[in-house]
Structure 1
Amino acid sequence: MLRTVAMMQPYLFPYLGYFQLIARSDVFVLGDDLQYVKGSWMNRNRVLVNGQPKLITFPLKKGHLTECINRRWLCDDFEREADILMKMLERCYAKAPQRDQVLPLLRGILHHPERNLALFTEHSIRSLCAYLDIKTPIYSGSSLGLPARMDMQERVIQIVHRMDGELYLNPIGGLELYCPARFRAAGLLLRFLRMDDITYAQFKHPFVPSLSIIDVLMFNSRNEIKELLQRFSVVEGQEKRATLSPA
């Protein structure tokens, strides 16, 4: 099987497909040296509250819009924010079947003393992978010594080469961002992971998709999640064709 490398920005408690990507790869790289994007999933996510999705946010100290993720910090009173979030999760998932196993895990993650956003997130992802028995090696992009300013596709290609990879695997949402021909020219294959349509019981409410991994953990045992981690397809990218501007 081709040695597969995947890379994503470090997200806090991301959706199931993020962990499918890690589990399917031979090497996973956290893009901690990429630019922080306000309003992204880097410091927020969604959980289930009374049958409806609710946005949760991890407040940050003020920072410049162009700063990298690893130069952003959680707010000074994050310990209080973590306590508030834990109480909300305890209340909203009080009757969830996996509550007793998952709440201690979340409590340990939220009360980790690290305040750097990238490092805090890396610890959370590693902790969740350990819980789910995902053994893929995880590296930080900043450890690879790449230039701060690079074309995104070239950055990915360089990372795959440095990890002795043969195939780059990206979430399906990036289908329009990468060109298969450019990867082939660099001696690499490009593929995309598409998560299946997955549902599971969320109390007696209609299913709400695309929530944080927190929701998946609360309603599914570890063995059940291991099965969900296999429910995806890997597809090829689309060749980009040059288009002529109208006369």
Structure 2
Amino acid sequence: MQPYFFPYIGYWQLINAVDKFVIYDDVNFIMRGYINRNAILINGQAYKFSIPLEKPSQNKLINETKLNFSDSAKNDFLKTIELAYKKAPCYKEVYPVLNKIIYNKETDLTTFIKFAIKTVNQYLGINTEILLSSDIEKDNSLKGQNKII
């Protein structure tokens, strides 16, 4: 699967259902995709947010894409989460997990998202091995579905 920033529940269900989960990071970045963005509800309305990137391009692979996520942007993101969810039932339990993810020091998108997935997996008790497609020996001349293991 392509990496996503805080993906929907079906992504976690899939990770939990398999022995190994492969993050496809050696494919092109999708400019309007959900690799670095998502949405939350604030007062019943969708609020879209994204991880700032350094010169994103559909001509770069996901694993070639770098973050431009300043401490100020991280603070703003976490403040938005706090204002939207501080009264939610599990907020006090989940907020430290989000904080750990957002303040990790990774500078490339793939490693950042892999860290986020592994951190959420740990919180959820999911023990699936997480692999990067770029680390798997394969025929790189294959395209599309033929690349899937």
TM bin (shorter chain): over 0.9
Number of equivalenced pairs: 149
Corresponding residue to 2:17 among 13, 24, 45 = 24
Q: 1:82 to 1:147 in 2, by over 3 A?
A: farther
Matched, 1:130 2:122: yes
When normalised by structure 1's length, the TM-score is 0.58
Q: Post-superposition shift, 1:27? A: 1.4
Q: Which residue of 2 aligns with 1:13?
A: 6
Larger radius of gyration: 1
Corresponding residue to 1:95 among 74, 84, 87 = 87
When normalised by structure 2's length, the TM-score is 0.95
Q: Which runs of 5+ in 1 are unaligned?
A: 1-7, 160-247
Q: Which residue of 2 aligns with 1:167?
A: none
Q: Which residue of 2 aligns with 1:60?
A: 53
**In structure 1, C-alpha distance between the alignment counterparts of 2:49 and 2:62, rounded to whole Å:** 19
Q: Which residue of 2 aligns with 1:44?
A: 37
Structural RMSD (CA): 1.2
**In structure 2, C-alpha distance between the alignment counterparts of 1:119 and 1:147, rounded to whole Å:** 23
Structure holding more helix per residue? 2
Percent identity of equivalent pairs:
35
Q: 1:68 to 1:147 in 2, by over 3 A?
A: farther
1:157-168 matches, within 5 Å, as: 159=149
Q: Post-superposition shift, 1:49? A: 0.4
Q: Which residue of 2 aligns with 1:186?
A: none
Q: Secondary structure of the residue that 1:11 maps to in structure 2?
A: coil
1:137-216 matches, within 5 Å, as: 137-156=129-148, 159=149
Amino acid at match of 2:9: L
Q: Which runs of 5+ in 2 are unaligned?
A: none
